[in-house]
Amino acid sequence: CQRVLTPNGTMWVSGTSHVIHSVGFGMQQLGFKLLNEITWEKPNPPPNLSCRYFTHSTETILWAGRDRKSRHHFDYAAMRECNGGKQMKSVWRMQAPGNGEKQHGRHPTQKPIELLARIVRSSCPPGGVVLDPFNGSGTTGVAATRAGMRYIGIEREREYLELTRLRISDELPTVTSAAPRPRLRAVAR
C-alpha cells in the first residue's frame, strides 16, 4: 500500500492480538509513521468456548501515515461533534455488525459500518479516494460511498466481491447522483 498511498495519505490496519503487534512493527520497519492505536471494544463479543482464556472483546486498529514527513488529514471537528462535543478518545465502544449489516451474506471478519464510517470520516479529505486491498464484505466501500468518497476495493474471493456489490448497490439510491461510483475488482488466486 505504501507505493500507491498519496504523500499525505494514511493507512488503517485492524487485527487481533495474535498478529497486530507484528504488523505494527513491520509497518515501522517500512518507514510508516504510527499515528494512533485505536481499541475497538465490543460490548457483545462471542463467548470464549474453551474457558481457558479471557474473552477476546477488543481489536486493535493501527492508523499510520505514509512516512515521517507526511502531513495527514484529521477531521478533529467532525470527531468532536460525533462525540458529544468532547475530544474523541482512542477506545471506541461499538457493537459487532448486526443482522441488518449481514442481510446479503456474512464474512468472518466483518466490521460494523459505524466503525468504518468513523475511520473514513476522520482521515479522508472530502472527495478523497479510499482503497481497501482486503475488501471482505465491503463495509469500507459502504462507508466511503455514504461519505461521497471514491472507493476501490480489491478482493480475491469472488463470493465476497458479489456481497460487496449487493451492499453498495443498496446504498447508491440514497447517495446523490454526483457521488462517484465505486470500483470493485476480483483478483484471481
- What's the pLDDT at 169? 85
**How many angstroms separate the first and last alpha carbons of the chain?**
19
Which of the listed ranges 5-9, 72-76, 153-157, 183-187 does the model predict with the highest average pLDDT?
Answer: 72-76
- What's the pLDDT at 9? 94
CATH of domain 97-189: 3.40.50.150
Name the grid cell of 27.
509497518
Model-level pTM? 0.86
For 25-41, the DSSP string reads HHHHHTT-EEEEEEEEE
Which residue spans of the chain are classified as CATH 3.40.50.150? 97-189
Gap between the Cα atoms of 109 and 137, Å rounded: 9
pLDDT in tens, 152-184: 999 988 888 888 888 888 877 665 555 566 665
Relative orientation angle of helices 113-123 and 139-146, to the nearest 10 degrees: 50
In the chain, the percentage of residues whose pLDDT exceeds 90 is 64
pLDDT reading at 188 higher than 50: no
Label residue 173 left, alpha or beta by phi (over 0 means left) and psi (-120 to 50 means alpha): alpha
In the chain, the percentage of residues whose pLDDT exceeds 70 is 85
CA 96 to chain centre: 13
Look at residues 98, 106, 101, 109 and name the one whose alpha carbon lies nearest to residue 56.
Answer: 109
Task: Give mean pLDDT, residues 39-47.
Answer: 93
Residue 64, SS3 per DSSP? strand
